[in-house]
């Protein structure tokens, strides 16, 4: 029995499209039919560009193969500017906002043949006030945030690829809660032009999909670095389990996922050694919180000054906490982060990557919160590349997984080992 087009991986679809075995219009239509069926319940989209997507698909079907993303529908998080669709940043302040240019990453995706299917729901300014999106695995549970819509749409087979961004854990946490693959690249790898700025020190653009091969394909197209797609490895990878200084937050489901990973590594001739991070890393969780709050209070200065009554109480409280942090304290936090980043290479020791928690556990049974980003914060602060792998089910039958973390700049290593692990966990 053949797999419906909308359920296939982006990598498989890309190969079929490039060989003209399927048409882009067929694929877009399959995605739109799924959206029509499920969107009333999941509510992943803030804007759907149905007619434009079909028009672009027909145009691509008539012409030459354009690039790596030829004919692939893409979900664009509503934090990314798009010249032909509204961009609201998850806020009523920008309900009528229509940018005149694409974000760099969106423009490069179009150049590579990608079809922007629409805008997916972001939490308010990619912080903690949820949008309307629900977890497709259980509609009473949060999909996570802030890349809520992209993660839910991919998990529900509405679209094969989605843009995301992370300032705390906004790629990894929704990937974990929705059971998809999330890739947060090394800080600075993806051009951030045209994406609403929250923190110059932390903001990182990322990708969501249904396989490691898919996120690697997406990243290769946006960075124009095809080496990211070279995922084969010739020797046994060097992997350590790292419980982190935040392990006390992990619930029974995440603990069992770590135990499962340890057993899987042992079965594949890898001694599941534990790596302890340096004591200074215990300070990074609080430092990330303060840096993020300090930067947000300044990045959203206009919105606070001119539209304060349209901000949620959650966001107002977060911005107020940023006001309480002195410049001296902020500079000390930045210095701490700088010192810790300089230690990462040696902290990993002989290991190429670490397996660490992605989230506390399953997606919480609430639509009023997006879950605690505790297990993403320090890796965002350190600028490390991370790939979330879904492979386990929690007590309620919802997805649970772990993230593969590498040294800054070693994205190719992380992606290769993530694929290796995905085949064995």
- pLDDT at residue 310, as a whole number: 98
* Look-up of token digits 């386990």: 392
Please identify which of the residues 11, 105, 147, 170 carries the catalytic annotation. 170
Rounded to whole angstroms, the Cα distance separating 118 from 84 reads 10
CA geometry: angle at 38 spanning 32 and 43, to 5°?
100
pTM: 0.98
Rounded to whole angstroms, the Cα distance separating 28 from 115 reads 9
- Catalytic residue status for 358: no
The helix/strand/coil state of 400 is strand
CB 118 within 8 A of CB 48: yes
- Catalytic residue status for 77: yes
CA geometry: angle at 186 spanning 268 and 117, to 5°?
95
- Catalytic residue status for 196: no
Residues 6+ apart with CB under 8 A from 341: 382, 383, 408
CA 117 to chain centre: 18
Q: Name the E strands within 259-358.
A: 353-357
**CATH entry 3.40.50.10150 includes domain 1-425:** no
Rounded to whole angstroms, the Cα distance separating 164 from 206 reads 5
The domain limits of the chain are 1-425
| Assigned token pair, 347 | 């902290």
Beta bridge partners of 207: 163, 183
Please identify which of the residues 11, 46, 56, 77 carries the catalytic annotation. 77
Please identify which of the residues 91, 104, 146, 148 carries the catalytic annotation. 146
Rounded to whole angstroms, the Cα distance separating 335 from 6 reads 47
Ranges of residues in the chain with a pLDDT under 70 are 1
């Amino acid at each position: 029995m053949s797999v419906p087009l909308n359920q296939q991986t982006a990598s498989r679809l890309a190969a079929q499209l490039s060989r003209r075995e399927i048409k882009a219009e067929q694929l877009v239509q399959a995605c739109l039919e799924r959206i029509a069926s499920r969107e009333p319940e999941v509510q992943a989209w803030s804007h759907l560009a149905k007619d434009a997507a079909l028009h672009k698909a027909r145009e691509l079907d008539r012409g030459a193969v354009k690039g790596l993303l030829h004919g692939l529908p893409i979900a664009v998080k509503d934090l990314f500017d798009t010249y032909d669709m509204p961009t609201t940043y998850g806020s009523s302040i920008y309900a009528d906002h229509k940018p005149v240019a694409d974000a760099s990453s969106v423009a490069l995706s179009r150049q590579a043949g990608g079809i922007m299917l629409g805008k997916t729901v972001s939490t308010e300014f990619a912080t903690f006030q949820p949008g309307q999106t629900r977890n497709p695995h259980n509609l009473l549970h949060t999909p996570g945030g802030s890349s809520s819509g992209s993660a839910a749409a991919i998990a529900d087979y509405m679209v094969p690829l989605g843009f995301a961004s992370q300032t705390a854990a906004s790629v990894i946490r929704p990937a974990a809660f929705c059971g998809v693959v999330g890739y947060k690249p090394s800080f600075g790898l993806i051009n951030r032009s045209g994406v609403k700025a929250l923190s110059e020190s932390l903001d990182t653009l990322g990708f969501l999909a249904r396989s490691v091969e898919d996120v690697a394909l997406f990243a290769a197209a946006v960075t124009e670095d095809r080496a990211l797609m070279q995922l084969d490895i010739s020797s046994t990878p060097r992997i350590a389990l790292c419980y982190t200084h935040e392990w006390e937050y992990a619930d029974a489901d995440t603990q069992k996922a770590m135990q499962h990973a340890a057993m899987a590594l042992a079965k594949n001739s890898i001694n599941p050694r534990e790596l302890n991070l340096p004591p200074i890393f215990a300070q990074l969780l609080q430092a990330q919180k303060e840096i993020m709050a300090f930067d947000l209070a300044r990045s959203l200065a206009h919105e606070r000054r001119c539209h304060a009554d349209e901000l949620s109480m959650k966001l107002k409280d977060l911005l107020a906490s940023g006001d309480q942090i002195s410049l001296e304290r902020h500079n000390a936090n930045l210095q701490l982060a700088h010192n810790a980043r300089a230690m990462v290479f040696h902290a990993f020791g002989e290991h190429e990557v670490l397996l660490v928690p992605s989230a506390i556990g399953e997606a919480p049974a609430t639509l009023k919160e997006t879950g605690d980003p505790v297990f993403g914060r320090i890796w965002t602060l350190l600028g490390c590349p991370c790939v979330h792998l879904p492979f386990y089910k929690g007590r309620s039958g919802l997805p649970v997984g772990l993230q593969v973390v590498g040294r800054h700049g070693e994205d190719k290593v992380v992606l290769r080992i993530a694929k290796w692990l995905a085949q064995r966990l």
